[in-house]
Structure 1
Amino acid sequence: MTHLTERRDTALGPRTTLLLALTCAVAVGNVYFPQAIVPLIAAGLHVPPGSAALAVTATQVGYTAGMFLLVPLGDRLRHRSLLVVLLALTGPALLLAGCAPNLPVLVVASALVGLTTVAAQVVGPLAVALVGAERRGAVIGTLLSGSIGGMLLARAFSGALGEWLGWRVPYLAAAALTLLLAAVAARAVPVVAPPPRQPYPALLAGALRLLRTEPELRRSCCYQATVFAGFSAVWTCLALLLSGPVYGAGAQVVGLLALVGGATMCATPLAGRLVDRRGPDPVNLGCLLAVLAAAAVLAAGALGGVPGLSALVLGTLLLDVAMQCGAVANQARVYALRPDARSRLGTAYMTCAYLGGSAGSWLGVRVYGWAGWPGVCGLVAVLAALALVRHLAGAGRG
């Protein structure tokens, strides 16, 4: 066992870890960078901004489909081969989007980009298979830090590049970077032998089966879905608060506020090392308490002015750190369950998380219309309290 652990740690050295984190950043960035250039797309293709936003929606729909349809293949194929193929397919889809002559072609290309840019969900099981259990949390934290960086920096990069050179250039630059990563990954990423092959329909059904049979998977899904629902409710309604009568600010203020979350890139590796030393449960407990604290701080944002804005900055930072660090603990727990089914475990976990986020956005808007910003903060607190009650009721119960 010791020899196996040493061999795994050698396979996943600092350079390989950095490459995989960069792959996560680029793959996740491909989902988010179009959000910053919707007005430029609208002007370039001579369509209303609402219609241009279909490119963003198509990317997100494709991404959800890719998680369900393609990520489980990691339990059937070699991870490196699947990773390289996904990157190699994303590159041409980005090229097609960048060269799209009209909106329908762009929407189709965007859906293809979303479908194939699920490399980050393949990287997780790959990295866990290459590292010993005592380093699993630290590696997951590093990979999640890359994903966060990609999400934040992609928006800023594409917005600046699009304003300077036009909306097509961010797509073309992303295509070049993605294809370069595919070439590097084909040579630099270690090979992990896949588990015994299973029929593809069985892989697709496997995620639902694992949710039914693995209590610890259900527990992690519960924590992440509730916290991500509160996170999504806050960020969906934040623009309504800032653009309303209390602040009267523009959408750019929301973008600047989102950059505060960049501090989370430093927090997730630390959370990962804490998971390795203490296990995921203490980290989950601390993160759920932090979400409750964030809800209280965010409620002061309704005051307006400098005190209110300061509360929003501190509260969103605390909420971001709590949500992402909790995700490190949840993923470490999930990937430790079944080495032969890590891709299907990841599919089940991420699907539940995204469903929670979608429900949180929908519910948050309705609560905001009924009870305003304090109501949204109350919703965050209730969701965190539900997860906390589940945690305190007994970590061993499914």
Structure 2
Amino acid sequence: MSDSTQTAPGHPAVQMTRGLTLLFAFCCGAIVANIYYAQPIIDLIAPSLGISSHSASLIVSLTQIGYALGLLFLVPLADLVENRILLLGSTALATLSLVAAGLTEHPGSFLLVSLLIGFSSVSVQILIPLAANLAPEATRGRVVGSIMGGLLLGILLARPLSSVVADHLGWRSVFIGAAGLMLAIIAVIAMTIPRRQPSHSASYGQLLASLAQLVAGQPVLRQRAFYQALMFAAFSLFWSAVPLELSRHYGLSQSQIAVFALVGAIGAVAAPIAGRLADAGFTRRASLLAMILAPLSFCTWLLPSAWGVVTLALTGVLLDFAVQMNMVLGQRAIYALDAASRGRLNALYMTSIFIGGAVGSALASALYEHGGWPWVACAGSLLPVVALARFVASPQK
């Protein structure tokens, strides 16, 4: 099937060079970091705004719910509206939302702004299908994997960065600094990201209505979304609960938690590896490996207590590697379904993932408060086991 990409009048066709791939990766990492800055510092934000400890993880959950809403209602416009205009508008909204988060004093206002931060940060999911459209079929998995590597580094580095900044300058400085970075990203997008005018002629309402048709007609999309939603729920559960365990059980400061979070960044190497495996035709075997590794990673809490923080670090590295690998494999599979619908396919795939992430984050505080780390580890193991069982029973990718 032919690609829907059209360059704007007067503009030559653009190819995904290595330099442009790196630029896309940087922009994706910087933008997606917005939805993770709050995760390791909710113990600082919540008491400052009068939010109870049991409800603190709502800050993270609402950001992820906002992201899911943006994926469902904003990202489909990538199949209709000129992509660079859409990117600039959503990034400008992210900038304003981050400034508001850094200035608000009211808990309800902060939770609403958290929702908006998530909603406006979905521009990364416009950049990734744009790259897939520009890349040749033979290297599409490699290009998407490289960009996902940048995105995942943004996810993983956001936590240590926010911990260090909050520890030395206060938690509000995290959001103000992020707003400044978004202004720089707006300039980069305006000057370097190529224009793309989709050839789709449907209205916005018809595009939204077509989402249900895509879900009904694409079993690979349904299955991949289900697998990754459960995997990402485990991922969000771990990274929302582990700062509580590190500060309360091990007495680590925010700066020390930041060092711990850096360990998780090792898992980002899975993205380009997964892209190459998918291009080589090893999608199913690599997916099986990822879905076995994820539940096993939580079993490290059964190791001798003398290992201490090392067991948590090992869980973080293995879990991140498994989740990132499975995410890229899923994206490569759904991008092969229909070139003209990549924006919407990606929106549906990522919406389900972040709904799973929101559930995992929402469970984190309650599980930890009632049963400590063993409850978190048991729930974290169970989620990917369900995905694994469904995967083994399915003949699809």
TM-score computed with the length of structure 1 as normaliser: 0.82
Using the alignment, how far apart are the partners of 2:42 and 2:243 within structure 1? 17
Using the alignment, how far apart are the partners of 1:362 and 1:104 within structure 2? 17
Q: Give the CA deviation at 1:272.
A: 1.3
1:81-135 per-position Cα deviation (integer Å, ceiling 9, x unaligned): 2112212332233334445476565555444333212111111111100101222
1:265-319 per-position Cα deviation (integer Å, ceiling 9, x unaligned): 22311221222122422221221222243244x2424x4222x543332232111
- Structure 2 letter corresponding to 1:222: F
**Cross-structure match for 2:290:** 287
- Does residue 390 of structure 2 align to residue 390 of structure 1? yes
**Cross-structure match for 1:347:** 347
Q: Would you say the 8 A contact 2:62–2:114 is kept in 1? A: yes
Q: Percent identity?
A: 35
Q: Would you say the 8 A contact 1:234–1:364 is kept in 2? A: yes
2:67 to 46, 63, 66: 63
**Cross-structure match for 2:272:** 269
- Structure 2 letter corresponding to 1:278: G
TM-score computed with the length of structure 2 as normaliser: 0.83
Q: Would you say the 8 A contact 2:68–2:355 is kept in 1? A: no
1:120 to 113, 118, 124: 124
Q: Counterparts of 1:11-160 in structure 2 under 5 Å?
A: 11-36=15-40, 47-48=49-50, 50=52, 58-100=62-104, 106-160=110-164
SS in 1 for 2:314: helix
Using the alignment, how far apart are the partners of 2:357 and 2:105 within structure 1? 33
Q: Give the CA deviation at 1:260.
A: 1.4
**Cross-structure match for 1:229:** 233
Cα 1:329–1:270, aligned 2, differ >3 Å: closer, same or farther?
same
1:322-349 per-position Cα deviation (integer Å, ceiling 9, x unaligned): 1111111011101111111112111211
Q: Would you say the 8 A contact 2:157–2:261 is kept in 1? A: no
Using the alignment, how far apart are the partners of 2:329 and 2:364 within structure 1? 26
**Cross-structure match for 1:310:** 310
- Does residue 328 of structure 2 align to residue 328 of structure 1? yes
Q: Give the CA deviation at 1:32.
A: 1.8
Cα 1:314–1:342, aligned 2, differ >3 Å: closer, same or farther?
same
1:259 to 259, 262, 273: 262
Using the alignment, how far apart are the partners of 1:345 and 1:312 within structure 2? 35
Cα 1:341–1:385, aligned 2, differ >3 Å: closer, same or farther?
same
Cα 1:110–1:12, aligned 2, differ >3 Å: closer, same or farther?
same
**Cross-structure match for 2:214:** 210
Using the alignment, how far apart are the partners of 1:234 and 1:101 within structure 2? 28
Q: Give the CA deviation at 1:262.
A: 0.7
Using the alignment, how far apart are the partners of 2:23 and 2:272 within structure 1? 16
Moved more, 151-160 or 32-41: 32-41
Q: Would you say the 8 A contact 1:239–1:251 is kept in 2? A: no
Q: Give the CA deviation at 1:361.
A: 5.0
Using the alignment, how far apart are the partners of 2:242 and 2:172 within structure 1? 29
Q: Give the CA deviation at 1:212.
A: 1.4
1:141-168 per-position Cα deviation (integer Å, ceiling 9, x unaligned): 2222222222233333334334444544
Query: Which is bigger in relative contact order (C-alpha 8 A, separation at least 6)?
Result: 2
Q: Give the CA deviation at 1:235.
A: 3.9
Q: Would you say the 8 A contact 2:26–2:150 is kept in 1? A: yes
1:213-261 per-position Cα deviation (integer Å, ceiling 9, x unaligned): 10110121122122223333444554565567xx554474655433211
Cα 1:279–1:129, aligned 2, differ >3 Å: closer, same or farther?
farther
Moved more, 335-344 or 95-104: 95-104
Q: Would you say the 8 A contact 1:145–1:264 is kept in 2? A: no
- Where in structure 2 are there 5+ consecutive unaligned residues? none
- Does residue 192 of structure 2 align to residue 188 of structure 1? yes
Moved more, 46-55 or 125-134: 46-55
Q: Would you say the 8 A contact 1:28–1:120 is kept in 2? A: yes
1:182-238 per-position Cα deviation (integer Å, ceiling 9, x unaligned): 222123112223032222223223333322110110121122122223333444554
Cα 1:249–1:348, aligned 2, differ >3 Å: closer, same or farther?
same
Using the alignment, how far apart are the partners of 1:31 and 1:220 within structure 2? 23
Cα 1:173–1:232, aligned 2, differ >3 Å: closer, same or farther?
closer
